Structure 1
Amino acid sequence: MQSRLRVQGHPIQPMLVTFPYGLFVCAVIFDLADVVGGPVFLGEVGYWTAVAALVTAALTAVAGMVDLWDVPPDRTRHTAISFNVVNAGMAGLFLLSCLVRADATNRGATPALLVVEMLGLAVGGVGVHLGARLMRHFDATRSETASVELVRGVDAPTVEVVRPRP
């Protein structure tokens, strides 16, 4: 399978997916620090970090849906759909947290919202597992020559590899 959205031959969606995951983890860390008695501004930083994560999650979901068009209708497609649904579930839990905090004066986290966010991270852990399974599948389907060409670079001359016979 080749991704439709590529940058210099590399699929975009696996690159984009790291942003929402990293930002969601950072948001939880800021909110945890706010809940345990850190400075008040940490709750505000956690809120805006979660908002940034939701924006990047939306962009990642669009790239995932575009890539889903090219996945063959088999177990791999089921895994890809599950991956996207799990990521949407994680984003939904953080969206719930952000909506509850949107009208607050300081947008600080509460212990209950922190639990919801940690549940979102747990759901995201399932997404990481599914994404790793997808990457292993697509790496296994690449040919050996394609892997050699990626290491050599685009401008390198093509060399035929002749293996000695036993």
Structure 2
Amino acid sequence: MQSRLRVHGHPIQPMLVTFPFGLFVCATVFDLADLLGGPVILGLVGYWTTVAALIAAGLTAIAGLVDLWDVPGDRTRRTAVTFNLVNAAVAVLFVFACLIRSGVPEHGATGGLLTVELLGLALGAVGVRLGSTLVRQFDPPTGEPAGFDAFGPPATSVAGGFGRRRAG
């Protein structure tokens, strides 16, 4: 069974998951730089990056729930439910991080905040692993080139062979 939400034949939720996770990583890097004595603005940027990541996580959760609707009730469903719960737990940890910093002047970073964020990222790494397992279980390979073969010339040209001689 395939995902309902697809773009060019590929499931959309695995694509969407990269946005909140990447933003959570960026927020943690900004907060670490703020704690290490960087400019005060880094704490504020870290805060708003976390807010953007939480919005992206909400949209990703909606896509995950739509996909979960069609997952068969076997090992794949357990993996999908666990994947979505792990992602929700990461979001909850970062909501907690936003609450921690709400009382700090200019939303600066603190040691406790960074600890919560690092815990969230560690849990997010588990989610990434589950997501890759889920893609292999839920969405069989399409036969498209993988690795460096995917960067080769396209099989068909959009321009219809413009500038090439035709045989015949």
Are the aligned partners of 2:30 and 2:43 in contact in 1 as well (CA < 8 Å)?
yes
In the TM superposition, residue 119 of structure 1 has moved relative to its aligned partner by 0.2
In the TM superposition, residue 138 of structure 1 has moved relative to its aligned partner by 3.1
- Structure-1 residue corresponding to 2:95: 95
Runs of 4+ in structure 1 deviating by more than 6 angstroms, as ranges, are none
- Structure-1 residue corresponding to 2:40: 40
User: Residues 87-112 of structure 1, C-alpha deviation per residue, up to 9 Å, x if partnerless?
Assistant: 00011000001122234330001011
Say whether 1:2 aligns with 2:2: yes
- Structure-1 residue corresponding to 2:165: none
What secondary structure is seen at the aligned counterpart in 2 of 1:106? helix
What secondary structure is seen at the aligned counterpart in 2 of 1:2? coil
Distance in 2 between the 1:15 and 1:94 partners? Answer: 20
Distance in 2 between the 1:15 and 1:129 partners? Answer: 14
In the TM superposition, residue 147 of structure 1 has moved relative to its aligned partner by 2.5
Distance in 2 between the 1:38 and 1:137 partners? Answer: 44
Question: Percent sequence identity over matched residues?
Answer: 65
- Structure-2 residue corresponding to 1:58: 58
What is the 5 A alignment of 1:46-85? 46-85=46-85
- Structure-2 residue corresponding to 1:122: 122
TM-score, normalisation: structure 2: 0.82
Equivalent AA in structure 2 for residue 2 of structure 1: Q
Are the aligned partners of 2:31 and 2:114 in contact in 1 as well (CA < 8 Å)?
yes
- Structure-1 residue corresponding to 2:111: 111
- Structure-1 residue corresponding to 2:25: 25
Runs of 5+ in structure 1 lacking a partner? 156-166
What secondary structure is seen at the aligned counterpart in 2 of 1:28? helix
Distance in 2 between the 1:61 and 1:4 partners? Answer: 14
Are the aligned partners of 2:43 and 2:108 in contact in 1 as well (CA < 8 Å)?
yes
Distance in 2 between the 1:114 and 1:104 partners? Answer: 13
Distance in 1 between the 2:61 and 2:67 partners? Answer: 10
Structure 1 residue corresponding to 2:143, chosen from 142, 147, 152: 147
In the TM superposition, residue 66 of structure 1 has moved relative to its aligned partner by 0.3
Distance in 2 between the 1:132 and 1:14 partners? Answer: 8
Are the aligned partners of 2:76 and 2:138 in contact in 1 as well (CA < 8 Å)?
no
